[in-house]
């Protein structure tokens, strides 16, 4: 059984040395490769990755300066900086050893060697390589994670004057570290604007961390934002970073800030003012460097007047205020957005060449969109799912009390919408449950369960 991970390359022009090392190391390491000619090193390193290279320092007869080994050590480190290299020579002196270590060697061994000491040296060198490789992989993973997280950036669609005014403000603010408060109705794209600010900022190479304050219970607030230490409370099985730490050097987006209870607002204010946080169960303050963006659909100024929101916290988060216009004030963008979502969902549901006719566009333009962009997106998706022809007509779009023309329409409940979709799918498929379930993207059993729940 092999007791140590590691692929080892041994380079020595003395074949008896190669044989002796092979016999000694074969039972100790995963794989041993032998080279008698150092000129083959570049080709061998292109073929396979090695954890350790044992490299002779002298190859020409009568030459014992060690310069050949130093040369090949440099070549190896240029292309494989993480690999451990142990130099080996029959002609050892202090100056040669120092020169090799300065050039990047992990260690220096004299011939003849002591087997036990040699094995210990090689195992340490391989462990060093494995540690370097792990650190490199972690850094690459972190870089990849940051790219993946920031890749979630979505497009901002539209060219209306109202939207252009917002984007112009975003462009001016993004390059600064000023705290930003984004307000607007539900579904207007507040998180999208936060992502755009981060994308255009000097922190764009770092992480944007989003926190839904509306979903945070008071008991989890400090743990989620500031982190905790192992054993600091029940179920705290390990140390955990809070969102402030994770977002360090990047951007922290606190969505639905208006939902934060009054007594927790002081804790958030302290973290912002002091630029430090302290994990639950610790007395050690941790400095943080974040760009803060907050968002809400509530009237924070009115909440201040009612004693529901701290005025000093509002001043801290509201260096720059961006008010997003509702979709009904972006008329020129409604059709553009509809076409964008149409392309998205025709691709997703494999319904190419699907179009929206003129009368349907008029219906979309005349609707007040109380749910804003989010409602438009869901409306287009439903129409694509239920469509039977290549043209979407007015009756294919199910809108809430469209005739009133008001933004105060009463919303259908989720159960009512679901019941309506099921009924329409069954009608279009002549009562065929299997076809209706397939059209809705659910199983036949799920369709039965949903119908039973809705009382059908």
The tens place of each residue's pLDDT in the chain, 456 residues long, gives: 344 678 899 999 888 899 999 999 888 888 899 999 999 999 888 888 889 999 998 887 666 778 888 999 999 988 888 889 999 887 767 777 788 888 889 888 888 888 888 888 888 888 888 888 778 767 755 665 665 566 555 679 999 999 999 999 999 999 999 999 999 999 999 999 999 999 999 999 888 999 999 888 888 898 999 988 877 887 778 778 889 998 999 999 999 999 999 989 999 999 999 999 999 888 889 999 999 999 999 999 999 999 999 999 999 999 999 999 999 999 889 999 999 999 999 999 999 889 999 999 999 999 999 999 999 999 999 999 999 899 999 999 988 764 443 333 334 455 666 777 887 778 777 778 887 777 776 777 777 767 766 665
Q: What is the pLDDT of residue 416?
A: 65
* Residue extent(s) of CATH 3.40.50.300 domains in the chain: 161-323
Q: CA 137 to CA 97: how far, in whole Å?
A: 31
Q: Which CATH superfamily is domain 161-323 in?
A: P-loop containing nucleotide triphosphate hydrolases (3.40.50.300)
- Measured in degrees and rounded to the nearest 5, phi and psi for residue 449 equal -65, -40
Say if strands 29-35 and 84-89 run parallel, antiparallel, or are unpaired: unpaired
Q: What is the CATH architecture of 331-453?
A: Orthogonal Bundle (1.10)
Instruction: Count the Cβ atoms, other than its own, within 10 Å of residue 154.
Output: 10
Bridge partners of 110, per DSSP, are: 89
Q: What is the pLDDT of residue 455?
A: 60
Q: CA 14 to CA 111: how far, in whole Å?
A: 12
Q: CA 186 to CA 173: how far, in whole Å?
A: 23
- With a threshold of 0.85, does the pTM exceed it? no
Q: What is the pLDDT of residue 151?
A: 53
* Residue extent(s) of CATH 1.10.8.60 domains in the chain: 331-453
CATH for 4-142?
3.40.50.2300
DSSP secondary structure code for residue 277 in this structure: E
Bridge partners of 52, per DSSP, are: 8, 84
């Amino acid at each position: 059984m092999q007791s140590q991970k590691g692929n080892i390359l041994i380079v020595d022009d003395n074949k008896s040395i190669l044989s002796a090392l092979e016999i000694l190391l074969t039972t100790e390491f995963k794989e041993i490769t032998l080279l008698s000619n150092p000129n083959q090193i570049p080709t061998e390193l292109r073929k396979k990755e090695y954890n350790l290279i044992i490299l002779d320092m002298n190859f020409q007869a009568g030459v014992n300066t060690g310069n050949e080994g130093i040369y090949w050590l440099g070549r190896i480190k240029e292309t494989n900086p993480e690999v451990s290299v142990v130099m080996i020579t029959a002609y050892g002196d202090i100056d040669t050893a120092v020169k090799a270590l300065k050039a990047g060697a992990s260690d220096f061994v004299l011939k003849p060697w002591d087997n036990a000491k040699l094995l210990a040296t090689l195992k340490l060198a391989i462990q060093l390589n494995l540690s370097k490789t792990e650190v490199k992989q972690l850094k690459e993973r972190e870089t990849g994670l940051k790219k993946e997280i920031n890749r979630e950036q979505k497009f901002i669609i539209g060219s209306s004057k109202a939207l252009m005014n917002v984007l112009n403000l975003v462009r001016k603010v993004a390059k600064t570290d000023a705290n930003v408060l984004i307000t607007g109705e539900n579904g207007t794209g507040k998180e999208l604007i936060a992502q755009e600010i981060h994308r255009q900022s000097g922190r764009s190479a770092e992480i944007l961390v989003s926190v839904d304050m509306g979903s945070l219970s008071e008991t989890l607030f400090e743990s989620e934002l500031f982190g905790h230490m192992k054993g600091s409370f029940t179920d705290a099985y390990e140390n955990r970073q809070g969102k402030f730490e994770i977002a360090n050097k990047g951007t922290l987006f606190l969505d639905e800030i208006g939902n934060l209870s009054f007594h927790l607002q002081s804790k958030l204010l302290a973290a912002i003012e002091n630029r430090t946080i302290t994990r639950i169960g610790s007395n050690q303050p941790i400095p943080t460097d974040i760009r803060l963006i907050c968002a809400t659909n509530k009237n924070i100024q009115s909440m201040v007047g009612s004693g529901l929101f701290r005025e000093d916290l509002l001043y801290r988060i509201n260096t720059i205020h961006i008010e997003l216009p509702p979709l009904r004030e972006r008329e020129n963008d409604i059709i553009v957005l509809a076409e964008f979502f149409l392309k998205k969902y025709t691709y997703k549901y494999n319904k190419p060449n699907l179009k929206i006719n003129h009368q349907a566009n008029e219906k979309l333009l005349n609707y007040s969109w109380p749910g804003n962009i989010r409602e438009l997106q869901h409306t287009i998706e439903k129409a694509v799912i239920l469509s039977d022809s290549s043209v979407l007509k007015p009756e294919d779009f199910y809108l809430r009390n469209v005739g009133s023309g008001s933004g105060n329409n009463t919303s259908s409940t989720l159960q009512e919408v679901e019941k309506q979709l099921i009924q329409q799918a069954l009608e279009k498929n002549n009562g065929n449950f299997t076809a209706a379930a397939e059209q809705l993207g659910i199983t036949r059993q799920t369709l039965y369960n949903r119908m039973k729940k809705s009382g059908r």
